[in-house]
Structure 1
Amino acid sequence: MASAKTIALFPEASYGAALNCVGIAQELRRMGHRPVFVCHPGFGGVFSEYGFPEYPLADAEAGRPTDWNDFIERHQDAFRQSPLDQIESYVEPTWEAIVDTAMRVEEPLRQLLARLKPDAVVLDNVVMFPAVANAGAPWVRVVSCAETEIPDADVPPYLSGCGMDERECWPAFAARYEKAVAPAHRRFAAFLAECGVKAPAAPNFLDPSPWLNLLLAPEIIRHARRRPLDPEKFVFLDGCVRSEAPYTPPRFASHNDAPLVLTSFGSLGAMDVEMTKRMIAVFARLPCRFLVNAGHWREDYREVPDNVFIDSWFPQPSVVEQADLFIHHGGNNSFCEALYYGVPSLIMPYCWDGHDNAVRADETGVGRRLDRYGWSEAELEGAIRALLGDVAMRQRLKANAEKMRKAAGVTRAAEEIVKVAAGALSAVRAS
């Protein structure tokens, strides 16, 4: 048996990336390896909850903001804008904040990796960290955002929410995006140069790994690329879903035999309480059971209809598996979990790659897109009823789910990562 490998997983400061990496780590552990987590300030405890060693990074500049909840709250108004207008109001400030974070954690990250001496580093992030590039171990890139993160002439621009039939919009978005993020990119490139690392070409902040790149996008929503990705270095996982504790839905005062609908807009989207209350008013008159993830804002909901149950957290994969419909923000984890369990999506995006996933759900017939704010009660009710009643879509999704389960994405990811780690070790011994 091959010797156990120490794999350091370093996800970005978001629950989507963090929990995606948990799924991979669970499989690495099952295979007898030692996955450990490097985590940003504020994410301590997320990984130990699943039984993994975790190493929170100290912030090299005490007092600087690292709380993404605060950041999102300050930029909430941008979520009412189009993806094009969000470039200046949300995307550009986000890149600036991400660059700030990368610069602040560089020294503690360098020291930590020198201490851990991992056989490989798994980077589920959107920027390069010089400490990872200089760690003396191979690194694996995980693309847990939409597939659009890896550019191609026949793939819509990343974060644009542009459809395949809207090609006339692609150049305008790409030009405006590149202009807006140029200052952040120049600052980031200078930082990388100081650390002896070559910067990605603008407007990209992270190049593909020369060893291995793992993409979550299932085949059913995948784009046909003008330049196909090298299958030796780019592996599509057809979903990568973590294992969670079983979940038993609560007994409702009514509709206990009715379809089950999960509504979750992620840890950050949950702060939009007023919008969620508008939705609950529509849920109240539908013959369904609704589970609503309220995050930290659970206590803001005082009056709840009989067919609605609100909680601060759900073991999402275990709930999605039982659901008949998943209403979400288009986060890649949520979208892939819906596909993995054959559940249609009603996507109401508000930022980042949620826009890309929403349009892709429409285009590929695996769900519907609905404007996050510009909907009437009749439109929301109609979308829910239509998706629950679409037998052909459900049959197609169930067939795809069976295919995705057979693909065993977490197993494939773990096996490929171990190959990289073992290959690097062999090279060191040979030298």
Structure 2
Amino acid sequence: MKKIKIDVVVVPLSGHLYPTMNLLLPLLDNPQYEIRLFTGPQKKAVAESAGFNVVTILEDHIEEFEKAANNDEQLGILSAYHQLSASIDLINLVSDQLLVEWQKNRPDIVIADFITLSGGLVADQLGIPWITTMATQFVLETTDGPPCLIGGMGSPKNAWQAAVQFLGRKGTRLVKRIVSFSFRDRLKRYNFRLYNQLDQETIYSPYSILGIGMKEVELKKGFPKHYKWVGPSGASVEAGEDYPLDLSAFPNRKKVLVTCGTQLAWAKDNLIYQTKQLAKAHPDFHFFVTRGVGGEPFQCENLMENLSVVSYLPYKEYIPQMDYVIHHGGAGIFYQCIIYGKPALILPHDYDQFDYAVRGVEAGVALTANKEDTRAIGLAFEKLIAKEDWSELEILRQAAQSYHPTEILESEIHRLLADKEKE
């Protein structure tokens, strides 16, 4: 039987790469599929250890990628524009590589992460069906609900808020059109149009979009018909034994994991400072701050009697052993807290994190506070540990187990191939 050749294109960022890897992991041992993963050399080792056949992208442009992906401070309008501009240069470099590779060794299906635009753009050029994997579902424009990336809007409570959100959705479109126009010369090679004839965004697949999350916590409505919820799968893929933190040494204390992910290097010092204040106020708790630096020898430093700073902790290995989690509102950690039933305090920093924070609060699984307001953080933590009824969290924890991501993925792969044969 002829194998189905699947090429997967994802930037080497944990919050984007790991959800897609986890979605595909069950297919690696299936002889029906031949899967190649295109990602940066930064993640080559961890992807290969998970079983993937890796083709590296941006091999000679690691510094440029890191500069474009990891800003030195919280993004503003101007810095976000410059970051996007630098990203387009890298997109075109990846597109050059994919074009050469796929003309020589053409896949049957392409799977591309939602910010890894080269995969879809080149697949469209070559007439290859493709699937978008989307770890942050609400970045997709929909016909109803709060616009995202503008501070975290929740469900509208009245007609005025609904009107504001309507204007926000329109404003988002206008900004996208202006930015797209400013980059028109650099996107000309793709015959790029921001929206297709169905008024849907062309940076996402017109065939299949797989939302790696839960519809139960989503506030937006009006997703495209080819959008499918596959459930949360953003767990870390590193081996737990490579990051040996012995939690049995703290048997009589409540344990709190504190993290702001792998990208926000500028936020780590403040995170440690805020955790120190919590540790002073709560000597019966032990706080574990992870710096989010994986792929290096494990390090653990005790800053206080009840505060440890570690280089990295794989979420799926250590969240089950924690009592509470303080995090930044990234997609992966947000859903891992739900999967393992851990109440969270969200301190949003940047990107989509304010949107995740409001979803966590509305779903009843988290509280939130300003990342720099020590008093507000302290009060929110007090409220977090005092709350006894987390029944909403338990309901969502059970709902997270009800998804069948592999079945949906395979169904979409075979549907797209069947549609291709009919053409």
For the aligned pair, the TM-score class normalised by the smaller chain equals 0.7 to 0.9
Deviations 1:52-94 (A, max 9, x none): 11111246xx6795233576343x0x35xxxxxx3x1443223
Q: Distance in 2 between matches of 1:44 and 1:322?
A: 29
Counterpart CA distance in 2 for 1:259 and 1:368 is: 18
| Aligned equivalents of 1:341, 1:104: Cα separation in 2 | 40
Partner amino acid, structure 2, of 1:67? F
- The match for 1:281 among 259, 276, 282 is 276
1:240 to 216, 230, 233: 233
Aligned pairs (5 A) from 1:70-89 = 72-74=70-72, 76=73, 78=74, 86=76, 88-89=77-78
1:138 to 129, 143, 149: 129
Find the partner of 1:91 among 74, 80, 84: 80
- Work out the CA distance in 1 between the residues paired with 2:258 and 2:365: 17
Change in 2 beyond 3 A, CA 1:406/1:183: closer
Q: Which residue of 1 aligns with 2:336?
A: 337
Cα 1:63/1:16, change in 2 over 3 Å: closer
What is the Cα deviation at residue 121 of structure 1?
Answer: 0.9
Q: How does 1:94-113 map to 2 (within 5 A)?
A: 94-113=83-102
1:328, distance to aligned residue in structure 2 (A): 1.5
Classify the secondary structure of the residue corresponding to 1:35: strand
Matched, 1:170 2:165: yes
Contact 2:288 2:307 in 1 (8 A): yes
**More moved, 133-142 vs 378-387:** 378-387
Number of aligned residue pairs: give it. Answer: 407
Structure-2 change in CA distance of 1:259 and 1:419 (3 Å): farther
Contact 2:11–2:116 under 8 Å retained in 1: no
Q: 1:26, 1:242 within 8 Å by CA — same for their partners in 2?
A: no
* 8 Å contact from structure 1 (residues 273, 300) kept in 2: no
SS of equivalent to 1:398: helix
In 2, Cα distance between the equivalents of 1:243 and 1:334? 9
Structure 2 residue ranges without an equivalent (≥5): none
For residues 153-192 of structure 1, the aligned pairs below 5 Å read 153-160=143-150, 161-165=152-156, 166-167=161-162, 169-170=164-165, 173=168, 177=172, 181-182=176-177, 184-192=179-187
1:109-163 superposed Cα distances (whole Å, 9 cap, x missing partner): 2112334422211111236332122244210011112x32122242211212122
Deviation at 1:236? 0.7
Q: Structure 2 length as normaliser, TM-score?
A: 0.84
Is the contact made by 2:68 and 2:87 (CA closer than 8 Å) also made in structure 1? no
Deviations 1:387-431 (A, max 9, x none): 2332322x321232122113233x23432343246426xx44x77
Q: 2:141, 2:201 within 8 Å by CA — same for their partners in 1?
A: no
Question: In the TM superposition, what whole-angstrom CA distance separates every residue of 1:321-347 from its partner, at most 9, and x where no partner exists?
Answer: 333222221111221222222222221
SS in structure 1 of the partner of residue 210 of structure 2: strand
Whole-Å separation in 1 of the counterparts to 2:313 and 2:12: 20
Shift in Å, 1:11:
1.5
Report if aligned partners of 1:36, 1:54 keep a CA contact under 8 Å in 2.
Answer: yes
Q: Secondary structure at the match of 2:275?
A: helix
> Does structure 1 retain, via aligned residues, the 8 Å contact 2:146–2:220?
no
The answer to whether residue 138 in structure 2 is matched with residue 148 in structure 1 is yes
2:396 is matched with which residue? Answer: 400
Alignment root-mean-square deviation, CA: 3.3
Secondary structure of 2:44's match? coil
Deviations 1:317-374, CA, capped at 9 Å, x for gaps: 222233322222111122122222222222111111111111111222121121122x
For 1:155, the aligned partner's letter is G
For structure 1, list consecutive stretches of 5 or more residues without a partner in the other structure: 80-85
Amino acid at match of 2:88: V
**1:416 equivalenced with 2:411 (yes/no):** yes
One-letter amino acid matched to 1:327: I
Are residues 1:384 and 2:381 paired? yes
**1:237: Cα distance to partner?**
1.5
Q: Distance in 1 between matches of 2:95 and 2:163?
A: 40
**What letter is aligned with 1:10?**
V
- The answer on whether the counterparts of 2:254 and 2:286 sit within 8 Å (CA) in structure 1 is yes
Distance (whole Å) between structure 1 residues aligned to residue 100 and residue 191 of structure 2: 17
